[in-house]
Structure 1
Amino acid sequence: MAALLIFACLLLMHLACSWPVDPTKGFVELPLNKSNFHNDKPYDLPVSDRYSFVDGVHKLWVYSTDKPLFKNSATKPRSEIRIRGYDYSSGVWQFEGYGYVPCGTTGVCIMQVFGATPPRATTLMLRVYNGSLYYYKAGPVVLENIYDRWFRVNVIHYVNASKLQVYIDGVLKLEPPGHGGTNHYFKFGVYGENDSSYYMESRWKGIKVLTKM
């Protein structure tokens, strides 16, 4: 009987963790307009060569042979949107967006929470390797088989508690620690990482920034 009760409790805990919820409940959505979206792209190209916005969808792409963001920089090529106007250093903040990664894109960061204690630069990176979404490179798999489909991404940053939560399609997938830092902001798009494909692309829609007052 005791073993049966333990099994039932474990089953209920598993179901509770895998059942979709609304991560935005209790948060306040902040207004966003065009001025809040700043494009980071190869320094020698116009934005339109690596970004489009059609029917509410942000499409961002880059090639592994592209130039970095700044001349003489050693950073990898990127085509990202940096959300401006909502930098934060304390409190509880949330990013929401629907992401799409076409088959073949690999070795790339598609979403990040920028800002950390040096020598780190970021508090969180969601990367794509061979069709799966990872926490950084060596971290756990957040979602498998992501190619050619839309998926909802919610990242909550509890700054004072130094922790984050990552929800995919309303299901809590990851609770990594924070990495310090005095200024944070959200970015999405494509940023080349190790072992990247020649062509990298991600698409995003329904972007929101939320906070708890």
Structure 2
Amino acid sequence: MSLLQILVTSLTLLIIHQTTIASSTLDLTQGFTTISLDNSNFVIQKPYNIPINQRYIFSNGVHQFWIYPTDKPFTNETNTQPRTEIRISGHDYTCGIWQFEGYGYIPSGTSGVCIMQVFGGSPYATTTQLRIYNGSLTYYESPILSQNIYDRWFKVNAIHDVGANNVKVYIDDVLTYDGVGHGANTHYFKFGVYLQNDPSSCAESRWKDIKVLRK
């Protein structure tokens, strides 16, 4: 091997090493303040005609949600699609930079469902929806943020800059979406299962280690 080849190889290995270190030490919460959450902040929305424990369980730190296309809405005063979601209450916002962090898990077969929302927009109802379609995690219906999402824990960081009207989504610490939001309004975070188009016969998601942060 020539001296030039040795130098090129060494430089390549150094770049890979530095990139690996940078990736492993990425802290998306740096500069943010973590907001204290307790049970009072987790408001469960589920079909209005059945008990919570028929669509939601919290055990060993894991929130488990499931829903069926034949289920009722969360209130008899709306005709929205069936859902079992947690609405994070007490921390609605209209300005600033806010972040949702959590770990999600989607069992194989779940499809046609929203699993996380940044609620509030103008004229839209939401600023962000993360959905599942046939094993892929998508931003609304597109683009695809991550493929082969089934049957594994994945980390979600959704950062909403209200003033800049910008949304960034990181999956497993990798930036997968950076785009324009849906306008200013009163916003809050939701996670769980909320049926969309072409839903599976049963939709389920699991979540743990939920955090809300702000600047």
State TM-score, norm by structure 2: 0.88
1:198 and 2:183 aligned? no
Question: Would the aligned equivalents of 2:100 and 2:213 in 1 still touch at CA under 8 Å?
Answer: yes
Which AA in structure 2 matches 1:123?
Answer: T
| Bigger shift: residues 156-165 or 169-178 | 169-178
The counterpart of 1:152, out of the listed 155, 165, 189, is: 155
Cα RMSD for the two superposed structures: 1.7
Which structure would you say has the larger Rg? 2
Q: Where does residue 103 of structure 1 map in the other structure?
A: 108
What do residues 116-172 of structure 1 show as CA deviations (whole Å, max 9, x unaligned)?
Answer: 002x100000000000000001x2110110100000000000000000110111111
Q: Where does residue 132 of structure 2 map in the other structure?
A: 128
1:181 and 2:184 aligned? yes
Q: Where does residue 23 of structure 1 map in the other structure?
A: 28
1:164 and 2:167 aligned? yes
Tell me the distance in 1 between the aligned counterparts of 2:77 and 2:39: 29
Map of 1:1-40 to 2, 5 A cutoff? 19=23, 21-40=26-45
Q: Where does residue 68 of structure 2 map in the other structure?
A: 63
Question: The residue matched to 1:160 in structure 2 has which SS?
Answer: coil
The counterpart of 1:142, out of the listed 140, 145, 160, is: 145
Which AA in structure 1 matches 2:82?
Answer: P
Shift of 1:76: 0.7
Shift of 1:72: 5.2
State TM-score, norm by structure 1: 0.89
Question: The residue matched to 2:115 in structure 1 has which SS?
Answer: strand
Question: Would the aligned equivalents of 2:44 and 2:85 in 1 still touch at CA under 8 Å?
Answer: yes
Tell me the distance in 2 between the aligned counterparts of 1:177 and 1:97: 22
Question: The residue matched to 1:161 in structure 2 has which SS?
Answer: coil
Tell me the distance in 2 between the aligned counterparts of 1:178 and 1:169: 21
Shift of 1:19: 3.7
Tell me the distance in 2 between the aligned counterparts of 1:182 and 1:147: 33
Question: How many aligned positions are there?
Answer: 198
Tell me the distance in 1 between the aligned counterparts of 2:74 and 2:179: 28
The alignment-based identity, stated in percent, is: 57
Tell me the distance in 1 between the aligned counterparts of 2:137 and 2:185: 27
Shift of 1:85: 0.8
Question: Would the aligned equivalents of 2:165 and 2:184 in 1 still touch at CA under 8 Å?
Answer: no
| Bigger shift: residues 78-87 or 169-178 | 169-178
